[in-house]
């Protein structure tokens, strides 16, 4: 099994390769069965043909022997007849007898001629034939005789027979010689009886010698024929047996080979059927069985590969099945469980015993128990199984609060549905997260109140309902007064805590059907639905103002925030959400303008105020380039000497239509719009240039105090601006004081301290303006590089009448001194206030008592008057002079 994910590549050909074999057996083994059967047939045909050949050969030999034997009897008879006719010729002297003798003697002579020719290394067959035929033999016997003679004339009996024959020839030649003598004597007529007797004796002697020769010859030939027959028989039998044995051995070998191959194959097939795929049948022959074995091995190798791939796929599937976070179950059409993973069991907490039954219906029952309404679930499941072809998706809500996602799809083989696969995923967390996100999208993270989006939705719905019912809807726009100060001075976490408290208080005042929403920052919107009349709204709003204004303790500070609320009512102040919001917003601004901490019903005339603000903003944007700003300077007087020691530069806007506009009317707007940055830079530059001039005019190092807004302070190039301005104006740095507010310090303490230090390193001094109105303690302030404190005018104003203001002022002065800080009192208007401050050793004072802010051109005159008055000991006259 290959676990790596890729299928094994098995060698295909190598497995069944035949082992090459040498020799005849090897060669024969390589031949096909047809060749082998042909070979066996050939062997048997050869046996038959050989036997036939042997038989033919034997018969030809036999014919030869028979012909020679027949020839011998003819020869013997002719020799006897020749002797007879010769003897009668000698006695009767009848020429006919002699002629007969000649005819008879020609026969032995013919045989002799044939034999003599045959004896030559290369013989003439015609001569032989002529001789043997003359010897009385049949011409058709001649070839057998020739064959026998040529093959065996040197062997055994035939050799002996031929020797005997030659012996006879000698006698025949003597007979012929004797006959010739007789014939010659008779023809000459001089054959005497004695001679006759003599010659006839010789003839008889010859004849007598010939008879035993003939007997021997016949016996020898007979012996030869008999032996030959035995030999031939033996050869035939031996040869036949040998060939038969060889043929049998061959066919046995071939059939055994075939049988072995087939048996091996059969055994292999059985093992494969039993599942053994490791098998590899050795290929021993190269015939059809060898081919079959190779094909068989290939087939097994193929199956092995297929099995390997199957195992691999199964392993991938089962690993995947067990590593997925989904619970999976596969059930066949009969409801039997085909497959499931552990996760399924865990998700549904199904007992192992139930899973082991393999019964899908039992598992369904177990699953159903996890639902509030098990029957409804089962019905749904049955319907799902009835719709075999369908894929489906569903969210399941379990009794225990979990939410599962169910995916179900038919399982198919070749397009036919054979079961169903169901997967279950626990999406509880996801669903919770979704719900959370949904809530986040519609709620404010800080207060958990509905946000703008949800508010708009609810408002639209409320309006829709009001349209149907003919009821009223009230929209309250609520903004916290001076919230920015709290945020800036106490930090954002305090601000957040405050907002949460306010949100809770507002929610407490609203009815169930109402919506309290946070729009951002310190702005809240409340929708009061199904309102009968304005009195109801008024009561709720009053309660809200009261509730929100109650003191809140945050980080041991007791804070009081007041709300400014604008109210618009549907359908009077707007037909749609946007119109109503705008109306409520306008009314809210009106409430702020009315002194904060109150509420205002929208009235159409308020739109004019809004337009005014817009116009102001528009004008402010152009004021710089139109040179509509100027600076007034208010003297700073040393309480000890009564002399003018400095001046605070205060901006004035000369509006083309409105005349002179004071800072409180436009500085907040400038801060809001960011225009304070260029305006502030202009002020600093202008103050330094004019301040330098004033110093020259007065002939003393007059302090020039310039207000820097928080927004300006956060701007990262303030240090550069100060450096540049000092260089450009030539104002000695130690005569410049930058006034910052407590909120500037609170906003970003570490960074602020660093910037202040850098500015101070230039020689410039830092004052904290309006001290006491913020929420910072003195000890907090001292963590910063500060030189001066300016006590806010609000404390100085009631100094004489209000004991607590007097106490605070005294405490501030005393503490400041202990921290080596200079103290300036703002808003000094009376002799009594000055006397109080002098008693407490406040360093400097600023206020109408000495002089109101005046343009630079008038400052020298004012300062001269104050100084003179000081010298005269009468500050009051100086005031009178200016006022």
Residue 77: exposed, middle, or buried by beta-carbon count in 10 A (0-12, 13-18, 19+)?
middle
User: Smallest gap, in angstroms, from Cβ of residue 787 to Mg ion?
Assistant: 14
User: Hey, is 399 helix, strand or coil?
Assistant: coil
Q: DSSP string of 505-562? A: HHHHHS-TT-EEEEEETTEEEEEEEEE--HHHHHHHHHHHHHHHHS-EEETTEEE---
User: Smallest gap, in angstroms, from Cβ of residue 631 to Mg ion?
Assistant: 12
Among 686, 707, 709, 833, binds Mg ion (CB under 5 A): 707
By C-beta, is 523 or 829 nearer to ligand C2E?
829
By C-beta, is 690 or 769 nearer to Mg ion?
769
By C-beta, is 85 or 629 nearer to ligand C2E?
629
Indicate whether 809 belongs to the interface with ligand C2E (CB under 6 A): no
Residue 497 near residue 515 (C-beta atoms within 8 A): no
Return all residues near 602 (Cβ < 8 A) that are at least 6 apart. Answer: 566, 567, 568, 569, 573, 583, 584, 586, 587
Indicate whether 827 belongs to the interface with ligand C2E (CB under 6 A): yes
57 is in the binding site of which of ligand C2E, Mg ion, none (Cβ under 5 to 8 A by kind)?
none
Among 826, 836, 878, 879, binds ligand C2E (CB under 6 A): 826
User: Smallest gap, in angstroms, from Cβ of residue 797 to ligand C2E?
Assistant: 7
User: Smallest gap, in angstroms, from Cβ of residue 662 to ligand C2E?
Assistant: 4
Size of the site for ligand C2E (CB under 6 A): 23
User: Hey, is 188 helix, strand or coil?
Assistant: helix
Q: Give the x-and-dash track for 605-644 against ligand C2E (CB under 6 A).
A: -----------------------------x----------
Among 476, 499, 587, 651, binds ligand C2E (CB under 6 A): 651
Which of the residues 380 through 409 are near ligand C2E (CB under 6 A)? none
Phi, psi of 622 (to 5 degrees): -100, -10
By C-beta, is 474 or 650 nearer to Mg ion?
650
Which of the residues 536 through 565 are near ligand C2E (CB under 6 A)? none
Q: DSSP string of 806-846? A: HHHHHHHHHHHHHTT-EEEE----SHHHHHHHHHTT--EE-
Angle between helices 452-469 and 428-442 (to 10 degrees): 70
Q: Give the x-and-dash track for 115-144 against Mg ion (CB under 5 A).
A: ------------------------------
By C-beta, is 108 or 827 nearer to Mg ion?
827
49 is in the binding site of which of Mg ion, ligand C2E, none (Cβ under 5 to 8 A by kind)?
none
664 is in the binding site of which of ligand C2E, Mg ion, none (Cβ under 5 to 8 A by kind)?
ligand C2E
780 is in the binding site of which of Mg ion, ligand C2E, none (Cβ under 5 to 8 A by kind)?
none
Which of the residues 845 through 874 are near ligand C2E (CB under 6 A)? 846-848, 853
Indicate whether 488 belongs to the interface with ligand C2E (CB under 6 A): no
By C-beta, is 16 or 853 nearer to ligand C2E?
853
Return the range that interacts with ligand C2E (CB under 6 A); candidates 149-157, 299-307, 810-818, 821-829.
821-829
Angle between helices 156-188 and 142-152 (to 10 degrees): 120
Residue 490 near residue 429 (C-beta atoms within 8 A): no
User: Smallest gap, in angstroms, from Cβ of residue 472 to ligand C2E?
Assistant: 42
**CA 750, CA 746: separation in Å to the nearest integer?**
9
Please report, for residues 152, 173, 620, the alpha-carbon distance to residue 135 in angstroms, rounded to integers and kept in the order given.
20, 15, 172
Give the tokens for residue 329. Answer: 């179950």
User: Smallest gap, in angstroms, from Cβ of residue 669 to Mg ion?
Assistant: 18
Reported residue count of the chain is 883
Among 168, 552, 650, 870, binds ligand C2E (CB under 6 A): 650
577 is in the binding site of which of Mg ion, ligand C2E, none (Cβ under 5 to 8 A by kind)?
none
Among 663, 733, 785, 864, binds ligand C2E (CB under 6 A): 663
Radius of gyration of the chain (CA): 75
The kind and range of the H/E element at 409 are strand 403-413
Q: Give the x-and-dash track for 731-760 against Mg ion (CB under 5 A).
A: --------x---------------------
DSSP 8-state assignment for residue 651: E
Residue 337 near residue 366 (C-beta atoms within 8 A): no
Which of the residues 733 through 752 are near ligand C2E (CB under 6 A)? 739
Please report, for residues 70, 72, 148, 156, 540, the alpha-carbon distance to residue 153 in angstroms, rounded to integers and kept in the order given.
18, 16, 7, 8, 163
Q: What sign has the CA pseudo-torsion 17, 18, 19, 21?
A: negative
By C-beta, is 286 or 833 nearer to Mg ion?
833
User: Smallest gap, in angstroms, from Cβ of residue 597 to ligand C2E?
Assistant: 21
**CA 859, CA 850: separation in Å to the nearest integer?**
12
Among 190, 352, 532, 664, binds ligand C2E (CB under 6 A): 664
Which of the residues 698 through 727 are near ligand C2E (CB under 6 A)? 707, 709
Which of the residues 816 through 875 are near Mg ion (CB under 5 A)? 826
User: Smallest gap, in angstroms, from Cβ of residue 680 to ligand C2E?
Assistant: 6
Q: Give the x-and-dash track for 770-809 against Mg ion (CB under 5 A).
A: x---------------------------------------
User: Smallest gap, in angstroms, from Cβ of residue 796 to ligand C2E?
Assistant: 8
By C-beta, is 81 or 628 nearer to ligand C2E?
628
Nearest CA among 389, 395, 385 for reference residue 364: 385
The CA-based dihedral angle spanning residues 88, 90, 95, 96, taken in that order and rounded to the nearest 10 degrees: 10
662 is in the binding site of which of ligand C2E, Mg ion, none (Cβ under 5 to 8 A by kind)?
ligand C2E
Indicate whether 671 belongs to the interface with Mg ion (CB under 5 A): no
848 is in the binding site of which of Mg ion, ligand C2E, none (Cβ under 5 to 8 A by kind)?
ligand C2E
User: Hey, is 632 helix, strand or coil?
Assistant: strand
User: Smallest gap, in angstroms, from Cβ of residue 481 to ligand C2E?
Assistant: 18
The CA-based dihedral angle spanning residues 765, 768, 769, 770, taken in that order and rounded to the nearest 10 degrees: -160
Indicate whether 769 belongs to the interface with Mg ion (CB under 5 A): yes
**CA 679, CA 591: separation in Å to the nearest integer?**
28
Indicate whether 667 belongs to the interface with ligand C2E (CB under 6 A): yes
By C-beta, is 307 or 829 nearer to ligand C2E?
829
650 is in the binding site of which of ligand C2E, Mg ion, none (Cβ under 5 to 8 A by kind)?
ligand C2E
β pairing state of 392-397 and 337-340:
unpaired
634 is in the binding site of which of ligand C2E, Mg ion, none (Cβ under 5 to 8 A by kind)?
ligand C2E
Phi, psi of 316 (to 5 degrees): -60, -45
Q: CB neighbours (10 Å) of residue 581?
A: 21
By C-beta, is 44 or 682 nearer to ligand C2E?
682
User: Smallest gap, in angstroms, from Cβ of residue 682 to ligand C2E?
Assistant: 9
Return all residues near 677 (Cβ < 8 A) that are at least 6 apart. Answer: 711, 712, 715
Return all residues near 601 (Cβ < 8 A) that are at least 6 apart. Answer: 534, 567, 569, 587
**CA 542, CA 556: separation in Å to the nearest integer?**
28
Size of the site for Mg ion (CB under 5 A): 5
Give the tokens for residue 197. Answer: 């007797």
Indicate whether 769 belongs to the interface with ligand C2E (CB under 6 A): yes
**Footprint of ligand C2E (CB under 6 A):** 634, 650-651, 662-664, 667, 680, 683, 707, 709, 739, 769-770, 793, 826-829, 846-848, 853
**Footprint of Mg ion (CB under 5 A):** 707, 739, 769-770, 826
């Amino acid at each position: 099994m290959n676990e790596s994910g890729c299928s094994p590549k098995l060698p295909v050909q190598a497995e069944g390769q035949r082992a090459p074999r040498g020799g005849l057996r090897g060669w024969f083994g390589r031949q096909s069965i047809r060749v082998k059967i042909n070979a066996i047939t050939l062997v048997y045909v050869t046996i038959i043909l050989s036997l036939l050949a042997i038989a033919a050969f034997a018969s030809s030999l036999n014919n030869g022997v028979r012909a020679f034997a027949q020839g011998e009897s003819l020869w013997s008879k002719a020799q006897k007849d020749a002797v007879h006719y010769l003897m009668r010729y000698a006695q009767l002297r009848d020429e006919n007898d002699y002629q007969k003798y000649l005819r008879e003697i020609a026969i032995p002579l013919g045989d002799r001629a044939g034999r003599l020719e045959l004896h030559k290394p290369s013989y003439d067959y015609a001569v032989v034939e002529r001789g043997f035929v003359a010897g009385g033999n049949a011409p058709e016997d001649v070839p057998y005789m020739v064959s026998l003679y040529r093959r065996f004339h040197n062997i055994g009996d035939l050799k002996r027979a031929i020797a005997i024959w030659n012996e006879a020839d000698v006698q025949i030649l003597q007979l012929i010689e004797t006959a010739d003598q007789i014939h010659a004597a008779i023809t000459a007529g001089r054959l005497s009886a004695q001679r006759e007797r003599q010659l006839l004796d010789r003839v008889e002697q010859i004849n007598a010698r010939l008879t035993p020769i003939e007997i021997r010859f016949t016996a020898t030939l007979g012996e030869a024929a008999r032996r030959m027959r035995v030999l031939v028989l033996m050869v035939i039998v031996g040869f036949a047996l040998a060939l038969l044995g060889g043929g049998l051995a061959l066919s046995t070998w071939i059939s055994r080979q075939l049988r072995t191959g087939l048996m091996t194959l059969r055994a292999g097939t059985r093992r494969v059927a039993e599942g053994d795929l490791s098998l590899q049948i050795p290929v021993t022959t190269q015939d059809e069985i060898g081919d079959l074995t190779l094909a068989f091995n290939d087939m097994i190798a193929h199956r092995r590969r297929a099995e390997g791939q199957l195992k691999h796929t199964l392993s991938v599937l089962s690993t995947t099945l067990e590593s997925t976070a989904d619970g999976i179950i596969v059930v066949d059409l009969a409801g039997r469980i085909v497959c499931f993973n552990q996760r399924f069991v865990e998700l549904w907490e199904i007992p192992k015993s139930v899973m082991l039954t393999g019964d899908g219906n039992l598992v369904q029952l177990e699953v159903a128990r996890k639902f509030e309404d098990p029957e409804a679930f089962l019905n749904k499941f049955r319907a799902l199984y009835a719709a075999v072809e369908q894929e489906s998706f569903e969210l399941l809500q379990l009794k225990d609060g979990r939410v599962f996602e169910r995916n179900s799809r038919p399982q198919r083989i070749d397009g036919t549905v054979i079961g169903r696969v169901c997967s279950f995923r626990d999406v509880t967390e996801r669903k919770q997260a979704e719900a959370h996100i949904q809530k986040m999208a519609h709620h404010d993270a800080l207060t958990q109140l509905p946000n703008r989006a949800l508010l708009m939705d609810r408002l639209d719905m409320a309006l829709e309902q009001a349209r149907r019912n003919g009821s009223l809807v009230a929209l309250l726009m609520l903004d916290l007064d001076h919230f920015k100060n709290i945020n800036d001075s106490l930090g954002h976490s305090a601000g957040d805590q405050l907002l949460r408290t306010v949100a809770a208080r507002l929610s407490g005042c609203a009815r169930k059907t109402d919506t309290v929403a946070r729009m951002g920052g310190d702005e809240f919107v409340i929708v009061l639905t199904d309102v009968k009349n304005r009195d109801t709204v008024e009561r709720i709003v009053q309660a809200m103002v009261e509730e929100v204004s109650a003191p809140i303790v945050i980080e041991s500070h007791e804070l009081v925030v007041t709300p400014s609320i604008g109210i618009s009512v549907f359908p009077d102040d707007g037909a749609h959400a946007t119109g109503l919001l705008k109306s409520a917003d306008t009314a809210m601004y009106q409430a702020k303008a009315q002194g904060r901490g109150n509420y205002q019903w929208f009235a159409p005339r308020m739109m004019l105020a809004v337009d005014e603000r817009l116009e102001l903003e528009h004008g402010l944007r152009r004021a710089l380039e139109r040179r509509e700003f100027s600076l007034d300077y208010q003297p700073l007087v040393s309480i000890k000497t009564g002399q003018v020691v400095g001046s605070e530069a205060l901006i004035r806007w000369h509006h083309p239509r409105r005349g002179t506009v004071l800072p409180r009317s436009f500085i907040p707007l400038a801060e809001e719009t960011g225009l304070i940055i260029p305006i502030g830079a202009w002020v600093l530059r202008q103050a330094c240039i004019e301040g330098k001039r004033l110093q020259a005019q007065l002939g003393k190092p007059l302090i020039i105090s310039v207000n820097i807004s928080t927004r300006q302070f956060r701007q990262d190039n303030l240090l550069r601006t100060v450096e540049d301005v000092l260089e450009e104006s030539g104002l000695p740095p130690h005569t410049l004081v930058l006034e910052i507010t407590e909120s500037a310090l609170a906003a970003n303490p570490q960074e602020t301290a660093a910037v202040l230090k850098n500015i101070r390193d230039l020689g410039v001094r830092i004052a904290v303006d309006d001290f006491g109105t913020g929420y910072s303690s003195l000890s907090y302030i001292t963590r910063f590089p500060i030189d001066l404190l300016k006590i806010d005018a609000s404390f100085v104003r009631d100094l004489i009448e209000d004991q607590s203001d007097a106490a605070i002022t005294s405490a501030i002065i005393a503490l400041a001194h202990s921290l080596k800080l200079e103290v300036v009192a703002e808003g000094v208007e009376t002799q009594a206030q000055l006397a109080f401050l002098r008693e407490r050793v406040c360093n400097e004072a600023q206020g109408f008592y000495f002089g109101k802010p005046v343009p630079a051109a008038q400052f020298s005159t004012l300062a001269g008057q104050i100084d003179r008055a000081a010298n005269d000991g009468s500050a009051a006259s100086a005031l009178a002079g200016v006022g």
